[in-house]
Chains A and B, each alone.
Chain A
């Protein structure tokens, strides 16, 4: 259900949160695994609420879980000294390897002293130059210049934070580049989160001679969001919402100050969707997830329209008319269905008109792209709304790369949440949509003594 009457631009997408929808089939029972995953945050909740020591013990007991890394074997004296200053060596990276996109944040120190510069090894310098002087890397790597955070102070160092993304299928090239640029000689620690931190761990080690510090993606996500929200967006607000989202004329994007962030429902829309209920910085639980996410939108668009990029899919969607594809309430009842208080414009059946051969022949690729976008977005809105009701939370923050410059989806989410909750729920968005996991990973790096 939801409105299908918005019009707007496009962009490129996201990461795979380890979301969960089962396949109904010939597989081991998914429920047990899901249960285990759920229990963990709960345990974390309980322990953080009472005794920090218990938590530390629990963390220690988590083998092969976030935090487990082994540093380089040969650590020079100088570096031992700098470690004592409780500040890791440059370069500072945070990596989030999702199902579709790799998100990389890079902290560029701007307060480098002459002495430091002199000491700086060539490969480090070259990395810095390479990353900061380009906006595109290889065929598909992009630096989101507009997101760059300036004059940030991290661990007593001043600098800029850069946001870079590239497709996950380019990971082998990235690792190869690390080898070519001799990253391993820097003895830096690569903090990485997302499923790819596990999937590519061995490649990092054997090809790049790099040891990954693997981090829990949900921990990173939340830490990243809270941090970025606290530093703002170069003097502006990080968080925003839409006023009059359904009205193209009056719709306004307005800053929102997250004064009381908790409790908060966090909906991360990457390839799939994860939904978390957040009660404090380290007290949260994963409520549910759905496999109908950004990957579904893009995947279906590729099949239905032959498009090749997420940008293209969104661009098509912006020009299409989903009401030719979807069956609306008014198509069935001639108007509103008053018995149930359903407005005529609500979608009764996504792709419902496509049951008819004549109508299948009458739709354009743009219409199909638009309908796919509306379907996926409404569905996420619907699940998010039900979770908010069940968890008794009224502010919902949507993040993830599915929303990048995807104003149609954001406005639709804002409208659907407001409409179906009769104004009880507020949809919030964040400028750095898909990068929070990577930021969280970077923050973990800085914690390493």
Chain B
């Protein structure tokens, strides 16, 4: 019932190695700027939350002063790049065993610089127990927060901000984890928290939730009764015993009562008629494994049954399960899922959360940070700084038991601007950005993981090359390599670690790792150079196009859009050629496509935009907010547009009259999630009544959105620059995707 998060499982064993395997400065990062601490102390795990600012380098672009400089000169780049320090907000969450609480508090105290912080918000059953210790060590006043309020706040937060947060679990299925697409509206839902007891809460909105029931038969019953029956002290070991037992030796089954006749009666003989029904005898011994298994079934079935009864009474079909009974344990996720399916006959879905262990800490933090309005922002999981699902699960990593000092981390970046759905999505609730689910497709997974591994050295080289004046670039690049490599290895073994594994998530993880080690934009110089070259060709290209007949011009424009798309340094096939022959480039691309147009934005997109403008079409041109590979960013696009406008009266007047609008997508990825787009873009799309969406690039139109259904006409175009993918899609390398779609009636 009530008590939740007060116990976290029996990992705090005395036989365990108590050394901390991760150096604390890699765990408690960015402490110097940390403020707004919150702590959730359970029965065995502590979760610490703090808000910090991260200073990192960003490549800023700005136009040169025009005074006296002739920008048309051959050796002059079109704009200047300067690397600046930028400060962004980040939430840090650290989970560790209570055993280390004192050592951790000491470390924090030693590294805490910010003295504005006066209080720490605390939740969880252990908050009371450790109150004095915290106050003494940190010199912060402990404010206790209501456990359930924190839990719900945390749950709302992760459901809203982390795509693929919730998943269904199906043992022995491939994949076992079925991640849910994010719903625009997460309410109402049922949260069943299985701590020592069970709490069932109906959540109707951000601030409205109601405790609708509970049960005293929960994790504490499994643990307490299990300890009595099996003389096993630890929760994890009880689960381990249960996973090896045969409950039919202890339970009275339907077939035990009916004999063989259950079949003719249409009854399942394996149904449990009476839990522990066979143990009602003095003259038999029962194995610990069998009793643990029987107990696990009894409790899981009971909770599942009650959850279904409550879900039915309140007309809800989504039930999220949390609490230490569930936390990262495939065994209990399986028995709970089974029970829910059985009792609801498939009408209710049992869902679990990737960051379930952090809900209380997140909620307590949010309560304390209300003046910062954290709920007004969009947040993104930082893959570089987060450990991923089950990083400490002994079921998955048998060696984990001896490495008990492991810390689990979650980091969330505050995004500059709020993200929303593209209003043009046909059905936002069923929209899945990614074309291939690599958790689902072992072959594809293997290919792409290997592909990213093989490309890693090239990325490292480019990163170092992008910062020739930096003394420690090589060292940072080495660390980047190590980090991303280990992420790839984790994903090989646990493809579900960060939600659905996709090419997009692999690319994003790489970007996050690059940023982590201050390689904000390894391609900034390359882009600068390319843009300079392309700008010089712009007028020439436009004149050539204008000379063509209408029909020829349209074909040439389409080719232009595609040719520019070959300049994508992320695609290994192209980068291999480029690295071996630096002179390869424009001419080569033209040959491959037998075309005479140029580089992506300037020679491909702008002429196309110009044609649309000439037709009287208004154009919203959206570029990435942050750098990703060699994609032109929003700020670069502004400079480029300015330069083009100076050359071209059509673009010039369109910009002035706001018939051409440059905006940012909100994304910093080579791919595009149309359910997480910049709010400004979404508003504009709605206001202007956009009726055609052009999505360009392999990342945006093939890896993602290939199957995206929009409410308006759409054009998806890309060159397939990956042999394996080209083959998968049924064509040769460098095949062209030019997909025009009209919404279904």
* A124-153 near B? 1/0 per residue, CB < 8 Å: 000000000000000000000000000000
* A336-362 near B? 1/0 per residue, CB < 8 Å: 010111100011111111110100100
CB contacts (< 8 Å) of A340 on chain B: these are: 2, 148, 199, 211
CB contacts (< 8 Å) of B225 on chain A: these are: 300, 350-351, 354
Task: Select one of A22, A198, A299 contacting B274, CB under 8 A.
Answer: A299
With an 8 A cutoff between CB atoms, is A437 at the interface?
Answer: no
Shortest CB distance B391–A (Å) = 25
Given contact pairs A288-B305, A352-B224, A99 touches B216 in the complex (Cβ within 8 A): no
Shortest CB distance B304–A (Å) = 9
With an 8 A cutoff between CB atoms, is A47 at the interface?
Answer: no
Docked Cα-Cα span, A66 to B6, in Å, equals 52
With an 8 A cutoff between CB atoms, is B433 at the interface?
Answer: no
CB contacts (< 8 Å) of B265 on chain A: these are: 64-65, 198
Query: Do B216 and A291 touch across chains, with their CB atoms under 8 A apart?
Result: no
Query: Do A98 and B221 touch across chains, with their CB atoms under 8 A apart?
Result: no
Query: Do B224 and A28 touch across chains, with their CB atoms under 8 A apart?
Result: no
Query: Do A386 and B256 touch across chains, with their CB atoms under 8 A apart?
Result: no
Please report which residues of chain A, range 36-72, place their CB below 8 angstroms from some CB of chain B when the two chains form the complex. 36-37, 64-65
CB contacts (< 8 Å) of B279 on chain A: these are: 299-300, 302-303
CB contacts (< 8 Å) of B218 on chain A: these are: 349-350
With an 8 A cutoff between CB atoms, is B638 at the interface?
Answer: no
How many residue pairs, one in A and one in B, have C-beta atoms under 8 Å apart? 306
Docked Cα-Cα span, A325 to B220, in Å, equals 11
Query: Do A293 and B335 touch across chains, with their CB atoms under 8 A apart?
Result: no
Task: Select one of A24, A329, A349 contacting B220, CB under 8 A.
Answer: A349
Query: Do B266 and A36 touch across chains, with their CB atoms under 8 A apart?
Result: yes
With an 8 A cutoff between CB atoms, is A34 at the interface?
Answer: yes
CB contacts (< 8 Å) of B223 on chain A: these are: 351, 354-355
With an 8 A cutoff between CB atoms, is A199 at the interface?
Answer: yes
Query: Do B274 and A293 touch across chains, with their CB atoms under 8 A apart?
Result: yes
CB contacts (< 8 Å) of B250 on chain A: these are: 299
CB contacts (< 8 Å) of B309 on chain A: these are: 288, 383, 386-387, 390
With an 8 A cutoff between CB atoms, is A182 at the interface?
Answer: no
Docked Cα-Cα span, A19 to B3, in Å, equals 30
Query: Do B302 and A99 touch across chains, with their CB atoms under 8 A apart?
Result: no
Task: Select one of B214, B270, B280 contacting A28, CB under 8 A.
Answer: B270
Query: Do B274 and A16 touch across chains, with their CB atoms under 8 A apart?
Result: yes
With an 8 A cutoff between CB atoms, is A395 at the interface?
Answer: no
Query: Do B342 and A296 touch across chains, with their CB atoms under 8 A apart?
Result: no
* B332-374 near A? 1/0 per residue, CB < 8 Å: 0011011101110110000000000000000000000000000
Docked Cα-Cα span, A199 to B262, in Å, equals 9
CB contacts (< 8 Å) of B277 on chain A: these are: 16, 99-100, 271-272, 291, 295-296, 299
Shortest CB distance A20–B (Å) = 5
Please report which residues of chain B, range 216-233, place their CB below 8 angstroms from some CB of chain A when the two chains form the complex. 216-221, 223-225, 227-229, 233
How many chain B residues touch the partner (CB < 8 A)? 86
Query: Do A327 and B196 touch across chains, with their CB atoms under 8 A apart?
Result: yes
Please report which residues of chain B, range 399-441, place their CB below 8 angstroms from some CB of chain A when the two chains form the complex. none
By beta carbon, the residue of chain A nearest B228 is A354
Shortest CB distance A17–B (Å) = 8
Given contact pairs A333-B2, A387-B309, A348 touches B197 in the complex (Cβ within 8 A): yes
With an 8 A cutoff between CB atoms, is A320 at the interface?
Answer: no
Task: Select one of B217, B271, B280, B300 contacting A295, CB under 8 A.
Answer: B280
CB contacts (< 8 Å) of B196 on chain A: these are: 327, 348-349, 352, 355
- Kindly specify which of A87-95, A183-191, A248-256, A374-382 makes contact with the partner chain: A374-382
Given contact pairs A290-B302, A308-B282, A23 touches B271 in the complex (Cβ within 8 A): yes
By beta carbon, the residue of chain B nearest A353 is B224
Given contact pairs A99-B273, A201-B261, A355 touches B220 in the complex (Cβ within 8 A): yes
With an 8 A cutoff between CB atoms, is A200 at the interface?
Answer: yes
Query: Do B306 and A382 touch across chains, with their CB atoms under 8 A apart?
Result: yes
Task: Select one of B216, B264, B337 contacting A375, CB under 8 A.
Answer: B216
Docked Cα-Cα span, A296 to B218, in Å, equals 16
Query: Do A271 and B274 touch across chains, with their CB atoms under 8 A apart?
Result: yes
Shortest CB distance B518–A (Å) = 46
Query: Do B3 and A332 touch across chains, with their CB atoms under 8 A apart?
Result: yes
With an 8 A cutoff between CB atoms, is B1 at the interface?
Answer: yes
With an 8 A cutoff between CB atoms, is B268 at the interface?
Answer: yes
Shortest CB distance A35–B (Å) = 7
Docked Cα-Cα span, A20 to B228, in Å, equals 26
With an 8 A cutoff between CB atoms, is B113 at the interface?
Answer: no
Docked Cα-Cα span, A308 to B253, in Å, equals 21
With an 8 A cutoff between CB atoms, is B259 at the interface?
Answer: yes
CB contacts (< 8 Å) of B327 on chain A: these are: none
CB contacts (< 8 Å) of A431 on chain B: these are: none
Given contact pairs A16-B274, A299-B278, A339-B146, A24 touches B339 in the complex (Cβ within 8 A): yes
Docked Cα-Cα span, A196 to B259, in Å, equals 7
Query: Do A33 and B266 touch across chains, with their CB atoms under 8 A apart?
Result: yes
Please report which residues of chain B, range 132-151, place their CB below 8 angstroms from some CB of chain A when the two chains form the complex. 146, 148-149
With an 8 A cutoff between CB atoms, is B504 at the interface?
Answer: no
Shortest CB distance B325–A (Å) = 11
* B266-298 near A? 1/0 per residue, CB < 8 Å: 111011111111111110001000010000011
Docked Cα-Cα span, A21 to B313, in Å, equals 20
Query: Do B271 and A21 touch across chains, with their CB atoms under 8 A apart?
Result: yes
With an 8 A cutoff between CB atoms, is A31 at the interface?
Answer: yes
Query: Do A24 and B261 touch across chains, with their CB atoms under 8 A apart?
Result: no
Query: Do A295 and B274 touch across chains, with their CB atoms under 8 A apart?
Result: yes
Query: Do A24 and B224 touch across chains, with their CB atoms under 8 A apart?
Result: no
Given contact pairs A329-B1, A340-B2, A354-B228, A199 touches B276 in the complex (Cβ within 8 A): no
Query: Do B228 and A296 touch across chains, with their CB atoms under 8 A apart?
Result: no
Query: Do A18 and B338 touch across chains, with their CB atoms under 8 A apart?
Result: no
By beta carbon, the residue of chain B nearest A28 is B268
Docked Cα-Cα span, A327 to B7, in Å, equals 13
Please report which residues of chain B, range 172-212, place their CB below 8 angstroms from some CB of chain A when the two chains form the complex. 195-197, 199, 211
Docked Cα-Cα span, A36 to B196, in Å, equals 36
Shortest CB distance A433–B (Å) = 17
Shortest CB distance A183–B (Å) = 21
By beta carbon, the residue of chain A nearest B267 is A33
With an 8 A cutoff between CB atoms, is B688 at the interface?
Answer: no
Docked Cα-Cα span, A18 to B262, in Å, equals 10
Shortest CB distance B510–A (Å) = 39
Query: Do B274 and A23 touch across chains, with their CB atoms under 8 A apart?
Result: no
Task: Select one of B7, B220, B268, B274 contacting A291, CB under 8 A.
Answer: B274
CB contacts (< 8 Å) of A25 on chain B: these are: 247, 297, 338
CB contacts (< 8 Å) of A27 on chain B: these are: 268, 270
Docked Cα-Cα span, A64 to B266, in Å, equals 11
Docked Cα-Cα span, A357 to B223, in Å, equals 11
CB contacts (< 8 Å) of A448 on chain B: these are: none
Docked Cα-Cα span, A137 to B302, in Å, equals 38
CB contacts (< 8 Å) of B260 on chain A: these are: 199
Query: Do B273 and A23 touch across chains, with their CB atoms under 8 A apart?
Result: no
Query: Do B148 and A339 touch across chains, with their CB atoms under 8 A apart?
Result: yes
With an 8 A cutoff between CB atoms, is B680 at the interface?
Answer: no
Docked Cα-Cα span, A304 to B148, in Å, equals 34
Query: Do B270 and A24 touch across chains, with their CB atoms under 8 A apart?
Result: no
CB contacts (< 8 Å) of B103 on chain A: these are: none
Please report which residues of chain A, range 2-28, place their CB below 8 angstroms from some CB of chain B when the two chains form the complex. 2, 16-25, 27-28
Docked Cα-Cα span, A353 to B256, in Å, equals 34
With an 8 A cutoff between CB atoms, is B257 at the interface?
Answer: yes
With an 8 A cutoff between CB atoms, is A284 at the interface?
Answer: no
Query: Do A382 and B2 touch across chains, with their CB atoms under 8 A apart?
Result: no
CB contacts (< 8 Å) of B268 on chain A: these are: 27-30, 32-34
CB contacts (< 8 Å) of A98 on chain B: these are: 257
Offer 13 A-B interface pairs, CB within 8 angstroms, sorted by A. Answer: A18-B273, A22-B271, A288-B305, A291-B273, A291-B274, A296-B276, A329-B2, A339-B148, A354-B223, A375-B216, A382-B213, A382-B215, A389-B313
Interchain residue pairs A-B with the least CB separation, the first 5: A354-B224, A199-B259, A295-B274, A195-B257, A198-B261
With A18-B258, A355-B43 already in contact, 14 other A-B pairs whose C-beta atoms are closer than 8 Å: A16-B277, A21-B271, A21-B298, A21-B302, A22-B271, A24-B338, A24-B339, A28-B270, A31-B346, A302-B279, A349-B197, A351-B225, A379-B217, A390-B309
